[in-house]
């Protein structure tokens, strides 16, 4: 049985979406970010990234982590690559070439895209988007995304999805990284192929199920 550690409103959303896509049973352990608590080590504090029981799972104190038949992994994008390889099907690579492409796009998302998109989402999380400093961070991040988004826009000119012209783990991983920048609607308007591709990804029932989990979680907070 797969166990996913982390709340839906975190990078764990990537692993929840993947589990929904694969249609596999999983247990959710809602570990919250310690920074959201006044005293994460207080008696009775919610299970969080500084809780000793979670640090025994991931000593780095970061979410998500997954445990699957005794294997513990703690990098959200790698978790999804592992699950795709284990369970197979259309989300996984059909051959070594596709596996290589999926790995390359996932690493590209992590190294070329997320360093910019995460700054955007954190600016909004801190309610700083309308402050001078916040606007400067967003502007710099948008400029940093220009080249990667131009690359993805060109790639999608002749295909609906990034690998094999079908929805795969590569699309899921990249779409989740780019979701952090969707607040900047003008950025998507500049890249119509990327915008259409994201719409296709987000129309999937598994994504909608994951987002329903996020909304339910937010309402209960």
User: What gap in Å lies between CA 217 and CA 96, rounded to an integer?
Assistant: 38
Residues 103, 108, 113, 114: is their CA dihedral positive or negative?
positive
Alpha-carbon separation of residue 102 from 4, 61, 110, 162 (angstroms): 22, 27, 12, 8
Res 199: pLDDT? 97
CA nearest 20: which of 87, 72, 75, 67?
A: 87
Which strand (E) or helix (H) includes residue 28? strand 26-29
Whether residue 41 contacts residue 64, with contact meaning beta carbons closer than 8 Å, is answered with no
CATH 3.40.30.10 is held by the domain 2-87: yes
Res 220: pLDDT? 83
DSSP 34-65: GGGSS-TTSTTPPSBTT-HHHHTT-TT--S-E
Res 99: pLDDT? 97
* CATH architecture type of domain 96-206: Up-down Bundle (1.20)
User: What gap in Å lies between CA 89 and CA 25, rounded to an integer?
Assistant: 16
Tokens read off for 186: 């003008």
Per-residue pLDDT of the chain (221 residues), as tens digits, is: 999 999 999 999 999 999 999 999 999 999 999 999 999 999 989 999 999 999 999 999 999 999 999 999 999 999 999 999 999 999 999 999 999 999 999 999 999 999 999 999 999 999 999 999 999 999 999 999 999 999 999 999 999 999 999 999 999 999 999 999 999 999 999 999 999 999 999 999 999 999 999 999 988 87
Whether residue 201 contacts residue 194, with contact meaning beta carbons closer than 8 Å, is answered with no
Q: Residue 64, preceding bond cis, omega within 30 degrees? A: yes
Hunting for tokens 């967003």 — which residue is that?
Answer: 138
Which part of the chain has CATH 1.20.1050.10?
96-206
CA nearest 120: which of 62, 168, 182?
A: 182
Which part of the chain has CATH 3.40.30.10?
2-87
DSSP 159-208: -SSSSTTS--HHHHHHHHHHGGGTT-HHHHHT-HHHHHHHHHHHTSHHHH
Secondary-structure breakdown of the chain: helix, strand, coil percentages, each rounded to the nearest 5: 60, 10, 35
pTM: 0.96
Cα dihedral 114, 65, 176, 154, rounded to 10, equals 60
Res 162: pLDDT? 98
């Amino acid at each position: 049985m797969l166990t996913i550690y982390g709340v839906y409103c975190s990078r764990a959303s990537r692993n929840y979406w993947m589990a929904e896509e694969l249609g596999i049973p999983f247990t959710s352990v809602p570990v919250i970010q310690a920074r959201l608590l006044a005293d994460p080590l207080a008696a009775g504090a919610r299970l969080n990234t500084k809780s000793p029981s979670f640090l025994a799972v991931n000593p780095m104190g970061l979410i998500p982590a997954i445990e699957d038949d005794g294997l513990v992994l703690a990098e959200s994008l790698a978790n999804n690559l592992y699950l795709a390889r284990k369970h197979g099907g259309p989300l996984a690579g059909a051959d070594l070439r596709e596996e290589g492409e999926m790995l390359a796009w996932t690493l590209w998302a992590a190294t070329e895209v997320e360093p910019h998109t995460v700054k955007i989402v954190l600016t909004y999380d801190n309610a700083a988007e309308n402050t001078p400093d916040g606007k400067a961070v967003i502007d710099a991040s948008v400029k940093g995304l220009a080249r990667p988004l131009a690359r993805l826009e060109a790639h999608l000119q002749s295909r609906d999805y990034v690998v094999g012209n079908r929805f795969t783990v590569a699309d899921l991983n990249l779409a989740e990284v780019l979701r952090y920048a969707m607040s900047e609607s003008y950025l998507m308007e500049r890249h119509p192929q990327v915008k259409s591709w994201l719409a296709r990804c987000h129309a999937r029932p598994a994504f909608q199920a994951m987002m329903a989990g996020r909304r339910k979680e937010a309402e209960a907070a």
